[in-house]
Amino acid sequence: MKKLKILMAASECVPFAKEGGLADVVGVLPKHLARMGHDVRVVMPRYKRVDRERYGLKQLPGVLVVPMGVIGNQYCGVWEGRIPGSDVPVYFLEHEGYYGRDGLYEMNNEGYLDNDNRFVFLSKAALELPKMIGFEPDLLHAHDWHTAAIPVLVNTTYAADPYVGGKATVLSVHNMQHQGNFYEGLMDVLGIGWEHFTFLGLEKDGETNLLKGGLYHATVLNTVSKGYAREMQTPEYGWGLDGVVRERAADLFGILNGVDYDDWNPEVDPYIAARYSAADLSGKKLCKRDLQRTFGLPERDDVPLFGMVSRLVKQKGVDILAEAIHRILALDVQFVMLGAGEPWTHFFFGDIKNAYPDKFNLYVGYNNPLSHQIEAGADFFLMPSAFEPCGLNQMYSLRYGTLPIVRATGGLDDSVENFDGKTLSGTGFKFWSHDAGALFDTVGWAVYTWYNRRDAMEKLIANAMAKRFTWEDAAAKYEELYGRALRKRLGEKTFVRRYGKDKPVSG
Ligand code: ADP
Ligand code: GLC
């Protein structure tokens, strides 16, 4: 395939700024695309937490002028860095007013009131950047609502721009719940005509919905598993936009995320107490001891240890876990939890810790080394998600021989195979109904298996550790998707030339 020039815009990217799995994808996918020969570049905000010295950022000469509709021009500096371990350039937009704050999106659980302008700015600045750096992309790749305005702008306000006008666009949806819906006047900041404020445009329930605009305008769409690509077309998972997604179903694809196995590999992991492999699991025992010690739990080999690392929000099933936790802890088990999120979860699980000091402990906050230690030291990893577009921890868990217990939804369903007690096939334990009863039953099933079927446990661990979800595979699929977007865009332009009119959907 022809080598492409790709501009990727996103609000997160490891190692610079991360809240969730989006950052992992944006930090790793470009590296693999670059290895395949593509010229891929990333643009994101320079949040306060992105340390210019630590990452050796260099300031580009000049100032980027970003027309923000009725707000007028806004100006930002641009700093250039590299994704570590690669030559992929990352352009950081430095705007003190928008990004010089501690949080990415919120402070004390309150979203910033100007998130609309902050991310419309990101989208527009991404479209102004190519001029400044002399880079004409073949294709623009946006992620989630934060940059979903890009496909809209490319087809409208920027349609005649010599660098980005009318270019093919890809929108990756990592989460349908967060849509970037704001007051209607945001249309005047976007600077696109009010004829786009319709049911078949950006309007949703009287508001400007950026994700909806992106879903209509992107040349092709994708999400991070085939399962979620199906689910997001249903009312249960579509958060009110399932109809739009159904309308674009022919252009929607599912590509499961990969794992960065340089980072997540128990054979070389520098964060864990002892290294181990499928051939020799003795190190895993030491990791379990170490994890029990870290969390102040009795150091026992003869008890199953459950781990969880998660944003503690409803998406992740913390509500059904709260309902089931007393029943779970009535069994002879231990449970360690790492995460932060909705304030009630900190209080609730804090109380659980006080009620079951020998069985349960939690660490509230974000801690990368500890997340590795949990992956290595636990016997089981719990992900009772209400929905999960992909999910990364179940894939890490497989590699660490820590059997995932998951609700069969989205990427969890696609990446974990259910245990079959007769054939001893499978890589984990699944439940379907999203309720505390189903969760408890499945935890009980895993506990029973742990205590009574060592043969099955060993087989399951071996099956799990042999699984691979590589970025090489995923990046090859993205390359195919880009090809599809370019062909479709070309076809649309030919259509316009021949018939002198544009098609209503996807610019
Ligand atoms: P989501 O993006 O919905 O939060 P994913 O499973 O895709 O879910 O990605 C979550 C990522 O964030 C994983 O890499 C996980 O290890 C990490 N993570 C989540 N919470 C924490 C935490 N408290 N400390 C360290 N890492 C965390
Ligand atoms: C979102 C989803 C998660 C997915 C991640 C990366 O945050 O909630 O399931 O793994 O994006 O694609």
Instruction: Kindly report, residue by residue over 121-152, the tens digit of the pLDDT.
Output: 999 999 999 999 999 999 999 999 999 999 99
CB 207: neighbour CB atoms within 10 A? 17
Question: What's the gap in Å between 488 CA and the centre of ligand 1?
Answer: 35
On whether the CB atoms of residues 405 and 383 are closer than 8 A, the answer is yes
Whether residue 412 has its Cβ less than 6 Å from ligand 2: no
**Identity of the amino acid at 321:** L
Q: Whose CA is nearest to atom 19 of ligand 1?
A: 310
Task: Tell me whether residue 171 is exposed, middle or buried, using C-beta atoms within 10 angstroms of its C-beta: 0 to 12, 13 to 18, 19 or more.
Answer: buried
Number of Cα atoms under 13 Å in the Cβ half of residue 447: 20
Question: What's the gap in Å between 251 CA and the centre of ligand 1?
Answer: 29
Q: Residue 505's pLDDT is what?
A: 45
Q: Residue 507's pLDDT is what?
A: 40
CB 280: neighbour CB atoms within 10 A? 10
On whether the CB atoms of residues 365 and 429 are closer than 8 A, the answer is no
Q: Is 148 helix (H, G, I), strand (E, B) or coil?
A: coil
List, for the chain, all residue ranges whose pLDDT scores fall below the cut of 50: 504-507
Question: What's the gap in Å between 309 CA and the centre of ligand 2?
Answer: 14
Q: Whose CA is nearest to atom 18 of ligand 1?
A: 310
Which amino acids bring their CB within 6 angstroms of ligand 1? 20-22, 24, 309-311, 338-340, 366-368, 371, 390-393
Q: Residue 181's pLDDT is what?
A: 97
Question: What's the gap in Å between 387 CA and the centre of ligand 2?
Answer: 10
Atom of ligand 1 nearest to the CA of 175: 3
* Ligand nearest to the Cα of 258, by number: 2
Atom of ligand 1 nearest to the CA of 394: 6
pTM for this one? 0.95
Tens-place pLDDT, residues 437-489: 999 999 999 999 999 999 999 999 999 999 999 999 999 999 999 999 999 99
**Cα 245 from Cα 259, distance rounded (Å):** 27
* Ligand nearest to the Cα of 388, by number: 2
Question: What's the gap in Å between 292 CA and the centre of ligand 1?
Answer: 21
Binding-site residues for ADP-alpha-D-glucose, please?
A: 18
Q: Whose CA is nearest to atom 1 of ligand 2?
A: 174
Q: Is 223 helix (H, G, I), strand (E, B) or coil?
A: strand
Q: Residue 25's pLDDT is what?
A: 96
On whether the CB atoms of residues 127 and 164 are closer than 8 A, the answer is yes
On whether the CB atoms of residues 400 and 376 are closer than 8 A, the answer is yes
* Ligand nearest to the Cα of 311, by number: 1
Whether residue 232 has its Cβ less than 6 Å from ligand 2: no
**Cα 192 from Cα 214, distance rounded (Å):** 14
Q: Where in the chain is the domain with CATH 3.40.50.2000?
A: 5-258+471-499, 282-466
**Cα 280 from Cα 227, distance rounded (Å):** 34
Q: What angle (nearest 5°) sits at the alpha carbon of residue 333, between those of residues 328 and 334? A: 100
**Cα 216 from Cα 80, distance rounded (Å):** 32
Question: What's the gap in Å between 309 CA and the centre of ligand 1?
Answer: 7
CATH class of 282-466: alpha beta
Q: Residue 506's pLDDT is what?
A: 46
Q: Residue 1's pLDDT is what?
A: 74
**Cα 298 from Cα 300, distance rounded (Å):** 6
* Ligand nearest to the Cα of 259, by number: 1
Q: Residue 494's pLDDT is what?
A: 66
Question: What's the gap in Å between 23 CA and the centre of ligand 1?
Answer: 9
Binding-site residues, please?
A: 18
Burial 434-468 (b: 16+ CB within 10 A, else e): bbbebbbbbbbbbbebbeeeeebbebbbebbbeee
Statement: 5-258+471-499 belongs to CATH 3.30.460.20: no
Distance between first and last Cα of the chain: 25
Atom of ligand 2 nearest to the CA of 389: 9
Q: What is the Cα Rg of the chain in Å?
A: 23
